[in-house]
Amino acid sequence: MRKNKEVPAKKIHSRNLSVQRMLYVIAIMMVSLIFCSIMVSRAEILLDEIVCLLMVLGVLLVVATSAMVSARYFGYELYSGTSLKYAFFAILLHWILVFFCNYLPELYLPTFLIPFILLPFIGEEATLLIGIYDVMLLSVLEGKNLYFIFLQTTLLLAGTIIARMYRDYRDEKPATFLSVIIFCVAYFLPMIQHYLQYHGITLKVLLLVSIIALAETLLIVFVYPLLYRITGTEEETLLNTILSEDFGLREEISLFSKKDYSHAMKVSKYAAKAAKVAGCNVKVAEAGALYYRLPKVYGEDGMEYAVKVMENMCFPHDVIDIVYEYNAKYRKPSSPESALVHMIDQVITRIELMDHGVGDSSWNQNMVIYQTLNEITQNGLYDESGMSINQYLKARDYLLREDLKK
């Protein structure tokens, strides 16, 4: 158990993308190439220039998607277990905006909004790569000067930094100073770009830039937090899916062993309740407990195969970690939820054995709980889990109050 410093958990991942994620990566590349091809084909540029622009896009897409997948692969993004579905739709929306930029005056270009659309779903590196390519593409297609490139790139960089800052406030009310910064950037940079290009500013331009800056600020303040909620919704939906009674993997466990399935259902039920009491992630603990014994279904090399199966089904990595840490055989629990599931599984297993006449006949539930948990803590199994002493005591006290024979 953690006494002072929390130990960061290591992540377990398969080496290859799941089929579902790979399809979305391919779809992202295809839709990008299609939109870019349409845009360059309508411009008055030479064929070899068109080919070069598309080749540059191809290289950037490989780098950008690699950065995006890597960020999710190692769990750096807000939610790393998604199927990349929303990343695809974010990039599609971005290309629609860029396409219509061909028909908009410079003051209306939504360059500042691009990071706020992309960053929640694909990460900073991929956002910057795609955004810089957008600016360069528009400058080539419309014959813009260096002032355009300089100011639009500055807008993009500022937007990316502010989007990252704003993300830190996603669970709170928007900070006033960030709203002011957003308005100032959206107002002054386009106005400076206009002045440098035309060497003059009219009252009409000042008023127009003010309205656009205000509209962008309001859009970011009220819409941007919703984009992060989408990623959370995807996580919740996925957890609800794998916990549903008709999910195929549950049936595999049931067909393999009714006894193991019944045990998994019981551990999952108590893990969810204990997680709520202890302040852990309820859904993660419930799902981790339900599939805790999944490796047994696949025989001798069951753990490796179970991890691959869960990755292909886009299981949240926190759940995969719990299953990988089954009985602390390959690794000690690396999260509070994993420690909680291990704790309850051990207690339930011991009670089931006692209930079937294995071991001391003169036993009671509380004695088994105390004895089991004392053995676990003495071995230091939860030292790297990040579970606090307070969480451990709350979970233990909950187990002492429950009738675990049901």
**Cβ–Cβ under 8 Å, residues 258 and 210:** no
Q: Has residue 401 got a pLDDT over 80?
A: yes
Q: Has residue 108 got a pLDDT over 80?
A: no
Of these ranges, 12-16, 122-126, 279-283, the one predicted with the greatest mean pLDDT is 279-283
Euclidean distance between CA atoms 366 and 378, whole angstroms: 18
pLDDT for 194-221, tens place per residue? 888 888 888 988 999 999 999 999 988 8
Euclidean distance between CA atoms 352 and 146, whole angstroms: 74
**Per-residue confidence at 14, pLDDT binned at 50, 70, 90?**
very low
Euclidean distance between CA atoms 67 and 95, whole angstroms: 19
Euclidean distance between CA atoms 391 and 185, whole angstroms: 45
Q: Mean of the pLDDT values across residues 164-183? A: 74
Residue 224, pLDDT score:
82
How many beta carbons lie within 10 A of that of residue 258, not counting itself?
Answer: 10
Residue 119, pLDDT score:
87
pLDDT for 69-94, tens place per residue? 676 656 554 444 456 788 899 999 99
Residue 87, pLDDT score:
85
Asked which of 10-14, 38-42, 236-240 is least confident by mean pLDDT, the reply is 10-14
Q: Has residue 11 got a pLDDT over 70?
A: no
Stronger pLDDT, 16 or 366, i.e. the higher one: 366
Burial of 360: CB neighbours in 10 Å, binned 0-12, 13-18, 19+: exposed
DSSP 380: T
Residue 72, pLDDT score:
60
Residue 246, pLDDT score:
83
Mean pLDDT of the chain: 82
Euclidean distance between CA atoms 243 and 241, whole angstroms: 5
Q: Mean of the pLDDT values across residues 99-122? A: 84
Euclidean distance between CA atoms 218 and 174, whole angstroms: 11
**Cβ–Cβ under 8 Å, residues 12 and 317:** yes
Residue 184, pLDDT score:
93
**Per-residue confidence at 32, pLDDT binned at 50, 70, 90?**
very high
**Cβ–Cβ under 8 Å, residues 100 and 31:** no
**Cβ–Cβ under 8 Å, residues 135 and 152:** yes
Q: Has residue 270 got a pLDDT over 70?
A: yes
Residue 276, pLDDT score:
93
Residue 367, pLDDT score:
85
Q: Has residue 300 got a pLDDT over 70?
A: yes
Q: Mean of the pLDDT values across residues 295-321? A: 84
Q: Mean of the pLDDT values across residues 241-247? A: 86
**Per-residue confidence at 7, pLDDT binned at 50, 70, 90?**
very low
**Per-residue confidence at 366, pLDDT binned at 50, 70, 90?**
confident
Name the one residue in this structure whose structure tokens are 């130990």: 7
Token duo for residue 51: 């080919």
Q: Kindly report the CA angle at 153 between 152 and 155, in degrees rounded to 5?
A: 65
**Per-residue confidence at 43, pLDDT binned at 50, 70, 90?**
confident
**Cβ–Cβ under 8 Å, residues 197 and 191:** no
Burial of 204: CB neighbours in 10 Å, binned 0-12, 13-18, 19+: exposed
Q: Has residue 6 got a pLDDT over 50?
A: no
Residue 232, pLDDT score:
62
**Per-residue confidence at 48, pLDDT binned at 50, 70, 90?**
confident
CATH architecture of the domain with range 247-401:
Orthogonal Bundle (1.10)
Percent helix, strand, coil in the chain (nearest 5)?
Answer: 75, 0, 25
- Angstrom CA distances, 292 to 249, 323, 335, stand at 12, 5, 14
pLDDT above 90 covers what percent of the chain? Answer: 27
Q: Has residue 5 got a pLDDT over 50?
A: no
pLDDT above 70 covers what percent of the chain? Answer: 86
Q: Mean of the pLDDT values across residues 328-334? A: 86
Q: Has residue 288 got a pLDDT over 70?
A: yes
Domain ranges of the chain: 19-237, 247-401
Number of helices and strands (H, E) in the chain? Answer: 17, 0
**Per-residue confidence at 186, pLDDT binned at 50, 70, 90?**
very high
Q: SS3 of 360, please?
A: coil
